[in-house]
Structure 1
Amino acid sequence: MSAPDQILLDIPSLLLSYSAPEQLLRAQWRGRFDAASARSQCEMLLEHLLDRPCRRMINDSSEAFGEWWEAGKWIGQVFAPELAARGVRAVAWINAMDWPSRYAVASTVPLVKGLIIKAFDFDEQRAAHEWVTSIEV
């Protein structure tokens, strides 16, 4: 039996947990986001990667909603390279159920550079985990 994930942050809009054996960060986005709140939460996430080895990430937007698509360019050009600089190599991005958030994810993924990234639907949690942990990083 594997060790339980370590909870790094648990606030209403974001749950961050970490699996040391898998070097996996799970970010679960919850609630309404706009461009400013998405960016500030991404910056908060980056702070939690400073002290731990992390090669993989599950970016779970299944419970996110709102129109944060304007942050997409920043996420692709600034946030993703910062993730890579902190050691992340592969990201499984679980898409939202909310149509504006689905649009934001779809428009952001092509902008991401420096990471292996694959999008999954909101009901593909297990497949996302299996994919990201199968990637040799």
Structure 2
Amino acid sequence: MAIASPLPTDCYPVHDALGQLIATAYYHTQGELLCVVWTGHITNVEVLQVAEAFLQLQALRPIRRLYNDKTTTTGDWAEAMPWLEFEWLPKAIHQGLQAIAYVLSPDISNQLISRRFADRVRPQLPIRLFFDYDKEAALGWLQAQ
């Protein structure tokens, strides 16, 4: 991970049904921060799987800040949007989530979906979008929340 931050306390890989790595979550006790770094081509199935894993992890560890890095992903996950908005987000907030820094994929279609997601989250939670060259700024913003 190319972020200048304290070393993570724990690392949690998430694999799809075929055993391919789709995301790795790095938990940082300091700041109650979870950095989720996505990889590969993702669809709504993978997004739901990682979101469920987040909720399971959040039940075990305090997570107030989420750094969501999709710089190495492509794919259309728009079908997951209603579930994320109406199921995942309320649960994540109830369990203590307070802010999200979202690093965008360079894939334009993925960016459009990510922007729609941010628009739906923003009324309930601070969220800010960043480009891949702004990872340090994303982490700095998140730590200030």
Q: Which moved more, 1:110-119 or 1:11-20?
A: 110-119
Instruction: Give SS of 1:101's match.
Output: helix
Paired residue type of 1:89: Q
CA 1:8–1:46 in 2, change beyond 3 Å: closer, same or farther? farther
- The structural deviation recorded for 1:53 is 1.4
The equivalences for 1:17-36 within 5 A come to: 17-36=26-45
Stretches of structure 1 that go unaligned for 5 or more consecutive residues are none
The equivalences for 1:8-23 within 5 A come to: 8-11=11-14, 12-23=21-32
Instruction: Give SS of 1:93's match.
Output: strand
Identity %: 23
Partner in structure 2 of residue 93 of structure 1: 102
Partner in structure 1 of residue 48 of structure 2: 39
Structure 2 CA distance for aligned equivalents of residues 43 and 54 of structure 1: 14
Q: Which moved more, 1:41-50 or 1:113-122?
A: 113-122
Structure 2 CA distance for aligned equivalents of residues 82 and 8 of structure 1: 22
For 2:140, which of 122, 130, 137 is the aligned residue? 130
1:67 aligns with 2:67: no
Normalising by structure 2, we get a TM-score of 0.85
**Equivalent residues of 1:80, 1:115 under 8 A apart:** no
Structure 2 CA distance for aligned equivalents of residues 35 and 116 of structure 1: 23
Partner in structure 2 of residue 119 of structure 1: 129
CA deviation profile, 1:17-56 (whole Å, cap 9, x unmatched): 1111111011111111111221122111211111111211
Give the paired residue count.
134
Structure 1 CA distance for aligned equivalents of residues 119 and 50 of structure 2: 21
**Equivalent residues of 1:18, 1:26 under 8 A apart:** yes
- Runs of 4 or more off by more than 2 Å in structure 1? none
For 1:102, which of 105, 111, 115 is the aligned residue? 111
Normalising by structure 1, we get a TM-score of 0.89
Instruction: Give SS of 2:35's match.
Output: strand
Stretches of structure 2 that go unaligned for 5 or more consecutive residues are 15-20
